[in-house]
A and B are shown apart, each in its own frame.
Chain A
Amino acid sequence: MDSLKKLVNLLLGYFRIFITYLLTKVQGFFLGIYRFSRKLSSLIKTFFVSLYRAAKNHPGSFKKGLSSFFLMGLGQFRNRQWYKGIPFLGIFLIFIIAEFVSSDYIYAPSEISRYPAEDTLYFFRDYGGIITRGVWGFFTLGALTRGDVYRGHIVDTQDFAYSWLEADNSRTLMGEGVIVIVLLAVLMAFWIISIRDAYKTDLKVRSGMEIERFKDWIRRVWDQYFAYIIVVPAGIAILMFTLIPFFFSFLVSFTNYDARISLQSDLIQWHGFTTFANIFGADPAWRDFFLKVLRWTVFYAVVSSVTVYVLGFIQALIIESKHIRFKKAWRLILILPWAVPGMISLLVFSNIFGADHGLMNRLLADTGLTDQVRSVLQFVGLVGREGVGNIQWFTHPDNANLARFLILMVNLWMGFPYFMLLITGVLGAIPGNLYEAADIDGGSAFQKFRYITLPWVIRATAPVIITTFTFNFNNFGAIFFLTGGGPRYWRDDIPATLTGIAPGQTDILISWIYRMAFLSGDHDAYNLAAAYSVLVFFLVATFAIYYLAKLKTFWEED
């Protein structure tokens, strides 16, 4: 009785600690938000205060800044720094000229009087230039479709006389809108730089410093900002082909865009969080399938990384052991599976396990073992109640576990040599005196492995395990080329809302996304696929940030 009491007390103690821990976490979270908002508001406050101070204490310099605010580059000209003013003004003029050249403003007055709009006139849609029309299109995603009557005429897909009689293509509007908004952000950044520069230069002049000559300025910028300048090309590439696409994906997930929308006859619309709400339970069928796929994705990523690591470790140990001769030859043969490009080996394996002409089934048929193997597989639960004949490795809906098992095996075949090589390298780097010391202390072979080799190798390769995991989480090829996501679910198991875009039983998130967006024909759901991409990103990013936060060496200064 006493011991029971003790146990209960102990458990209660643990529970209390756990709750306190949770509370501190929750508290920390809200405290974080509070602090952040405080910081933000104080930042905004300091901004306005410093603005006010600048205006009060240095009215002259403030006015120079102000003139750059009204016309980019004007402040620089007033500072007599033409070499700064020209580029700033140039950038500004490029935007203005692009807007006017691409616009139809000159036709607007006469046309509006001839063809008045009965209800709403979409002025920027009809006459705006690239920037105004881009911004209009981005927020509205279009207003008129084929067959609408607008300003006394019927809107059609093409109109050679009046561009405003052409039906809106929401996709084009969205694409151009995203680009325009990014360009405007760039303009904004330059604008701020020009204002600050005009103000600061004037301050310097007033405190008695000389205005830099053009030559000196160029040299100073080149020297001081060299590191930034050489990073710019890479930055542009990443902005254009990584960040903007991601931003765009993010936006698509908030629309209703799918294959049912026929452009110019229908409009894409912003519909907020509807897609995400569907995924997370507004529609239980969606949530169930999402969880199913997510569970298999995580399982696949973890198990495939671990098995590959363990087998690679074992092979490295065996080849390095003192019993084995011709180490180099063994190693050379065993790395061949890694040297074959992944896509090719996966496709070859999909042929090996083909139901009809596959190598595996033929081997079994030739040796007469088909039925035995099938009953063994049935016994361990990998094969369902399928009948006679060839074994359907990847195609029978009851054989999902078999397909999953084989995916892991093929992944093992492809992946172990890399870790074998890596760990062989690490083993060679373990200082020999550690083992000598162990020998003197009389350590057994197992102890040496347990307390020297294992910790050393794991510490050296830990980051690679993490990268392998994140790689496998998005290992599209391993699923798509091998099983194509199959076997499919029984048709009865697929709820009506998922018709056409249901995952296969071995699909991981990324291959399901691909299927949803590109392989489902009339059922292609771009918005859903985009929403899942966003989710995958946040899953991976959370993992990455958590992992990064733990690394100390990363923060070391060079």
Chain B
Amino acid sequence: MMKLKNLIAKTLLYTWLLISVVIALVPIIWMVSAAFSDVRRLGDVPIIPRVREWSLANFKEVFTYRSGTAQLLPDYIGSFLVTLLVAVVTTVLVVMLSSLVGFAFTRYRFQAKKPSLLFIMGLQMFPSFMGMIALFLIFRVFGWLNNPIFLSFIYVAGAIPFNTFIVRGFMRNVPKTLDEAAFIDGATNLQVMIKIIVPLAAPIMGFIAVNAFMGPWLDYILPSILMPNNETVAMWLFRMNDPDSTPHRPMLFMTGALFLAVPIMIVQVYMQKYVTYGLTAGAEKG
């Protein structure tokens, strides 16, 4: 009896898992199939990839397509480089600034520490595009439109609050004995920070760096407003997929998207063990 019950449970659970796996994979497989097929219309893409008929025609076109003949680089590569610049600047600044704030909040005395923490918490609650109308107007007035550096400044300002809490959550669990001992030995603030705190915080700074680097790649809303003539990858993807735009090339969208998604997916799968950092950052709050 017990065995039969177990068997039924097993079958049910495995069936359920199989169904979820199929549902989880079908859109992804379809994307792969579309990227490697050589049909012109999305409607003709086979659902089950026919590996023997695969071609790289779409990839070739993605990397050579220019919307204007005068352009130095193909659209995709150009937008890729622009986004890369944004991502690198964002990463460097986010890691530096938010670690500094995080250190200040865990390792040093502070007047008005609680109110400022609460303030940062409040900042974290509203996304940076809340001020998007104003950002658009300000960028126009000061001629910052189409400038990737200023775009990355917005990402930086938006990322600092959350990362401050991540750093704080991490540093709280690192014992203070080391830096206290250094202070007793007469080390200065700067020495303690560079020689002791930064090495201790290296893992969390790496985590922040990876996240900050991945952020700008697929953000559409801000660049679409602030970079009208300097396309990022997300804007390229959107343009290729938009029925109202010329050219409307969903096949190229699928290909470009796959090319971008694969490295990100690999990083994400690798980063899955750090998913609980989000929890510790949350636990900071709760």
Does A324 contact B14, Cβ atoms closer than 8 Å? yes
**Which residues in B have their C-beta under 8 angstroms from that of A541?**
122, 125-126
What is the bound-complex CA distance between A170 and B190, given in angstroms? Answer: 47
**Which residues in A have their C-beta under 8 angstroms from that of B27?**
337, 345, 348-349, 352, 413
Does B28 contact A537, Cβ atoms closer than 8 Å? no
Does A548 contact B121, Cβ atoms closer than 8 Å? yes
Q: Which residue of B lies closest to A330 (CB)?
A: B17
What are some 22 contacts across the A-B interface (CB < 8 A)?
A175-B137, A175-B140, A175-B142, A321-B13, A333-B24, A334-B20, A337-B24, A338-B268, A339-B264, A340-B261, A348-B254, A351-B250, A357-B41, A363-B47, A461-B279, A463-B285, A464-B278, A518-B136, A548-B121, A548-B285, A553-B284, A558-B106
Once A241-B157, A242-B157, A558-B106 are accepted as A-B contacts, the answer to whether A340 and B138 lie under 8 Å apart by CB is no
Does B282 contact A518, Cβ atoms closer than 8 Å? no
Does A222 contact B189, Cβ atoms closer than 8 Å? yes
Closest Cβ–Cβ distance, residue B115 to chain A (whole Å)? 11
Does B47 contact A359, Cβ atoms closer than 8 Å? yes
**Which residues in A have their C-beta under 8 angstroms from that of B28?**
336-337, 340
Partner of B156, one of A237, A342, A344, A517: A237
Question: 4 closest A-B pairs (Cβ-Cβ)?
Answer: A245-B131, A357-B43, A175-B141, A248-B134
Tell which of A351, A467, A480, A536 has the most Cβ of chain B within 10 Å: A351
Closest Cβ–Cβ distance, residue A426 to chain B (whole Å)? 8
**Which residues in B have their C-beta under 8 angstroms from that of A174?**
137, 141
What is the bound-complex CA distance between A418 and B271, given in angstroms? Answer: 12
Once A241-B156, A551-B285, A554-B117 are accepted as A-B contacts, the answer to whether A352 and B30 lie under 8 Å apart by CB is yes
**Which residues in A have their C-beta under 8 angstroms from that of B100?**
230-231, 233-234
Partner of A526, one of B137, B153, B275: B137
Tell which of A246, A341, A533 has the most Cβ of chain B within 10 Å: A341
Query: Does residue A477 face the partner (Cβ distance < 8 Å to B)?
Result: yes
Known: A324-B13, A344-B260, A514-B132; 20 extra A-B contacts, CB below 8 A, are: A172-B141, A175-B138, A175-B140, A241-B135, A242-B131, A242-B157, A246-B126, A252-B137, A330-B21, A339-B265, A343-B218, A344-B237, A351-B42, A352-B30, A357-B44, A357-B250, A426-B279, A530-B134, A536-B126, A541-B126
Does A529 contact B133, Cβ atoms closer than 8 Å? yes
Does A246 contact B283, Cβ atoms closer than 8 Å? no
Query: Does residue B253 face the partner (Cβ distance < 8 Å to A)?
Result: yes
Interface residues of A in 491-550 (CB under 8 A from B): 510, 513-514, 517-518, 526, 529-530, 533, 536-537, 540-541, 543-545, 548
Does A421 contact B275, Cβ atoms closer than 8 Å? yes
**Which residues in B have their C-beta under 8 angstroms from that of A388?**
none
What is the bound-complex CA distance between A245 and B153, given in angstroms? Answer: 13
Query: Does residue B145 face the partner (Cβ distance < 8 Å to A)?
Result: no
**Which residues in B have their C-beta under 8 angstroms from that of A518?**
136, 224-225
Q: Which residue of A lies closest to B193 (CB)?
A: A230
What is the bound-complex CA distance between A541 and B119, given in angstroms? Answer: 11
Does A545 contact B133, Cβ atoms closer than 8 Å? no
Interface residues of B, count at CB 8 A: 102
Interface membership of chain B positions 39-82, coded 1 if the CB is closer than 8 angstroms to chain A and 0 otherwise: 00111110100000000000000000000000000000000000
Q: Which residue of A lies closest to B160 (CB)?
A: A234
**Which residues in B have their C-beta under 8 angstroms from that of A175?**
137-138, 140-142
What is the bound-complex CA distance between A354 and B122, given in angstroms? Answer: 39
Query: Does residue B184 face the partner (Cβ distance < 8 Å to A)?
Result: no
Interface membership of chain B positions 148-162, coded 1 if the CB is closer than 8 angstroms to chain A and 0 otherwise: 000001101110110
Interface residues of B in 166-189 (CB under 8 A from A): 168, 172, 188-189
Closest Cβ–Cβ distance, residue A274 to chain B (whole Å)? 17
Does A341 contact B109, Cβ atoms closer than 8 Å? no
Does A226 contact B279, Cβ atoms closer than 8 Å? no
Query: Does residue A176 face the partner (Cβ distance < 8 Å to B)?
Result: yes
Query: Does residue A227 face the partner (Cβ distance < 8 Å to B)?
Result: yes
Closest Cβ–Cβ distance, residue B42 to chain A (whole Å)? 5
Query: Does residue A291 face the partner (Cβ distance < 8 Å to B)?
Result: no
What is the bound-complex CA distance between A533 and B100, given in angstroms? Answer: 31
Query: Does residue B31 face the partner (Cβ distance < 8 Å to A)?
Result: yes
Does B220 contact A246, Cβ atoms closer than 8 Å? no
Interface residues of B in 19-38 (CB under 8 A from A): 20-21, 23-25, 27-28, 30-31
**Which residues in A have their C-beta under 8 angstroms from that of B23?**
413
**Which residues in B have their C-beta under 8 angstroms from that of A418?**
275
Closest Cβ–Cβ distance, residue A557 to chain B (whole Å)? 8
**Which residues in B have their C-beta under 8 angstroms from that of A238?**
123, 157, 160-161
Interface membership of chain A positions 294-322, coded 1 if the CB is closer than 8 angstroms to chain B and 0 otherwise: 00000000000000000000010011010
Interface residues of A in 251-275 (CB under 8 A from B): 252
Does B128 contact A242, Cβ atoms closer than 8 Å? yes
Partner of B108, one of A227, A242, A247: A227
Once A249-B130, A347-B238 are accepted as A-B contacts, the answer to whether A234 and B97 lie under 8 Å apart by CB is yes
Closest Cβ–Cβ distance, residue B264 to chain A (whole Å)? 5
Tell which of A223, A321, A339, A530 has the most Cβ of chain B within 10 Å: A339
**Which residues in B have their C-beta under 8 angstroms from that of A421?**
272, 275
Query: Does residue A350 face the partner (Cβ distance < 8 Å to B)?
Result: yes
Closest Cβ–Cβ distance, residue B163 to chain A (whole Å)? 10
**Which residues in B have their C-beta under 8 angstroms from that of A245?**
128, 131-132, 134-135, 138
Once A175-B138, A347-B241, A348-B30 are accepted as A-B contacts, the answer to whether A540 and B125 lie under 8 Å apart by CB is yes
What is the bound-complex CA distance between A176 and B172, given in angstroms? Answer: 42
Once A413-B23, A553-B286 are accepted as A-B contacts, the answer to whether A231 and B138 lie under 8 Å apart by CB is no
